[in-house]
Amino acid sequence: MLFNSHEFLFLFLPVAFVLFWYGGHSPRWRLGLLTAASYAFYSWWQFDSWSDLASSFRVGSVEDLGRSLWRWRFTIIMLFSSTVDYWAARWIVSLPQEARTRRGVLLAVSLVINLGLLGLFKYSGFFTRIASDLLEFAGGGPLPIVSLILPVGISFYTFESMSYVIDIYRNVAKPARGYLDYACFISFFPHLIAGPIIRYSDILHQFQDVNWARRDPDWDHVDIGLLFLTAGMIKKTLIADRIAWSIAPFWESLARGESLGFSASWAAVLGYTFRIYFDFSGYSDMAVGLGHLFGVRLPQNFNSPYKALDPSDFWRRWHITLSTWLRDYLYIPLGGNRSRQIRNLMITMLLGGLWHGAAWLFVFWGGWHGLLLVGFHWLKQRGWVLSNDATWRRWVNRQAMFLGAVVGWVLFRSADYGEGQYGLASILPAVRMFAGMIGQGGAAAMAVPLELWAMIGASWAWCNFAPNTTEVIYDPRSRRVRYAILAGVIMGVCVLKFGTPVDFLYFRF
């Protein structure tokens, strides 16, 4: 069920909102209702229609039961993962600090199960193919390739669940009051599928907040939520999807091995650069807005990343909750800035790239950003970085970082065309695109429509000059009534443009 779909906006969301605020007034009712609604939202992804869902409840034999459980397997996996981590954290808390071995074993069991499930579903094809290639190189026979359907959102809720147990182990967070609190934290539908990646300490107090004890909604929260929801819908429906439609022929031509030429290559790459920005930024805005509708404020996940002045600044702005997770649970434990900084940066970024998908080009994308970070710190230590003490210098640094991000997006986007391939063939689309961008791809096979260049130019101006959604909506000087009226009109336009909903890009991760 997509946020940009009729069944979500006109059925699921209104029903969940009314039942949450008016079906009962105790915080426990609201916690239970929100958890049930979130599991219903997640389970919908496993079925094609209402009749398909209904058929999963028809159990007349052991075989029918097995088929039904298989149909619900993704929901069962999330429930299993949540249950393991909830009890692991409870048992860790019950043990004294001196029982380090037993506490460590419980943490290890939790991490092994979480990473095991993630590895099985997301990376089994990647690693079995590598093992098969190595065995064939050594003179043996090929191995069977194991490839499973990826449960939607597993990368996000796995990281959230892991952070909870690790924080409990470190004594830096309080445990959940009960299973229901924890289950709601993991399954809360606004952030479940594609983030932001939240921590229990970010949301714990909000499940106990006085706002949840109200008999009716805080309409200021609702006002803010609808504005965020509309802003995200604009970015997704009117901008990202429009750009996606315009650049699709170029990327499809690349996948067929055809030459794009210089201008078409740059149009395809720049178009994707802005498409992924507005697509993911739009989802993040909608997630924050939906949280507000239920009295919960989720963390900001985007802060105008194309205004970044250097690689470090970029990762403080792009997918903020993922970069802070990697910093706190991987980079710092490896040693951070204290020792072997270059190694720690590269390991963190390589694994961050692999988190996005089981393909060498995702690893190369992470490695590229690792090289940017390492190169920036190396130059900065020697005083060779252009300072930001003048406007023109800031603009030079900003556009240099933007160009670095664009190069990375070539690797990121091209990974889609190597899906299921893990050898040389998987990186050839990126090689062909880079060749076209430097004028070595041969004669252009396709002309670039003027409309696409106009969208690219307008998107560049938006990303460089417009304030981001958080700055506008949370500004106490904003006249929200005026914005709300405008938002209502624009939301109507977005709904009319729905057609067949287009998935958000980060759903696949």
* Distance between CA atoms of residues 235 and 497, nearest Å: 12
Does 230 lie in the same domain as 176? Answer: no
When pLDDT is averaged across residues 179-207 and rounded to a whole number, the result is 89
Among the listed residues 292, 319, 356, 377, the single catalytic one is 356
Structure pTM?
0.92
Mean pLDDT of 375-388: 91
Banded model confidence at residue 429, pLDDT cuts 50, 70, 90: confident
199 lies in which domain range? 24-216
Residue 509: band (very low, low, confident or very high) from pLDDT cuts 50, 70, 90:
low
Do both 471 and 368 map to the same domain?
yes
Structural domain includes residue 12: no
Same domain, 450 and 470: yes
Q: Are 182 and 86 in contact (CB under 8 A)?
A: yes
User: Read out DSSP for 208-274?
Assistant: SSGGGGSSS--HHHHHHHHHHHHHHHIIIIIIIHHHHHHHHHHHHHHHTT---HHHHHHHHHHHHHH
**So what's the pLDDT on residue 474?**
84
Cα separation, 447 vs 433, whole angstroms: 16
Residue 456 has pLDDT above 60, yes or no: yes
| Domain-embedded: residue 497 | yes
Q: Which residue did the predictor score with more confidence, 418 or 204?
A: 204
178 and 326 inside one domain: no
Residue 203 predicted with pLDDT over 80: yes
Q: State CA 281 to chain mean position distance.
A: 10
Known catalytic residue at 356 = yes
Res 418 pLDDT > 80:
no
194 and 306 co-located in one domain: no
133 and 38 both lie in a single domain: yes
Q: Is residue 14 part of a domain?
A: no
Residues 128 and 260 in one domain: no
Distances (CA, A) of 104 to 235, 326, 434: 45, 21, 47
Position 499 pLDDT exceeds 60: no
Residues 137 and 229 in one domain: no
The residue among 197, 216, 235 that closes a domain is 216
- SS3 at position 504: coil
3-state secondary structure of 46: helix
Residue 188 Ramachandran class (φ > 0 left, ψ -120 to 50 alpha, else beta): beta
**Do 428 and 331 belong together in one domain?**
yes
Q: Is the pLDDT score of 423 beyond 70?
A: no
Name the domain boundary from 150, 184, 216: 216
Domain count along the chain: 2
pLDDT tens-digit readout, 264-313: 999 999 999 999 999 999 999 999 999 999 999 999 999 999 999 999 99
Are 333 and 471 members of one domain? yes
Task: Compute the distance between CA of residue 131 and CA of residue 124 in angstroms, rounded to an integer.
Answer: 10
The reply to whether 485 falls in a domain is: yes
Average pLDDT of span 211-228: 85
Confirm whether 262 is domain-assigned: yes
pLDDT at residue 413 in the model: 92
pLDDT recorded at residue 112: 96
Q: Round to whole Å and give the CA distance between 364 and 353.
A: 7
Predicted confidence (pLDDT) per residue in 106-124, tens digit = 999 999 999 999 998 888 8
Residue 5 lies in a domain: no
For the ranges 165-169, 248-252, 311-315, 492-496, which has the lowest average pLDDT?
A: 492-496
Which of 174-183, 253-262, 279-288, 345-354 is predicted with the least confidence, judged by mean pLDDT?
253-262
- Do 23 and 32 meet the contact criterion of CB atoms below 8 Å apart? no
pLDDT at 501: 63
Q: Is residue 13 part of a domain?
A: no
The predicted model gives 240-263 an average pLDDT of 89
Provide the pLDDT confidence category of residue 439 given band limits of 50, 70 and 90: confident
Q: What is the mean pLDDT of residues 374-392?
A: 91
Q: Does one domain contain both 187 and 236?
A: no
Instruction: Compute φ and ψ for 138, nearest 5 degrees.
Output: -80, 0
The mean pLDDT value of the chain amounts to 87
Q: So what's the pLDDT on residue 94?
A: 92
Write down the pLDDT at residue 287. Answer: 94
- In a shared domain, residues 443 and 367: yes
Mark which of 164, 184, 216 sits at the end of a domain.
216
Asked if residue 17 has pLDDT above 90, the reply is yes
Q: Is residue 11 part of a domain?
A: no
Query: In the predicted model, what is the mean pLDDT of residues 160-184?
Result: 92
